[in-house]
Amino acid sequence: MDNIDIKSPVLLIVICLSIGGVIGFFTDLNWLTTGLVLLAILLLNGLMMSTEDRQKGGFDYDENESQKSKVSFRRAYLIQISFLSLVILCAIISVWSHQ
User: If you write DSSP's letter for every residue of 79-97 in order, what string do you get?
Assistant: HHHHHHHHHHHHHHHHHHH
pTM listed for this prediction: 0.82
Query: How confident is the model at residue 5, as a pLDDT?
Result: 82
Please give the Cα distance from 99 to 97 (Å, whole number): 6
Query: How confident is the model at residue 2, as a pLDDT?
Result: 63
Q: What is the arithmetic mean of pLDDT over 1-5?
A: 68
Helices (H), 1-99: 7-26, 31-53, 67-97
The tens digit of pLDDT for each residue in 39-68 reads 999 999 999 998 888 888 888 777 888 888
Are 17 and 32 in contact by the 8 Å Cβ rule? The answer is: yes
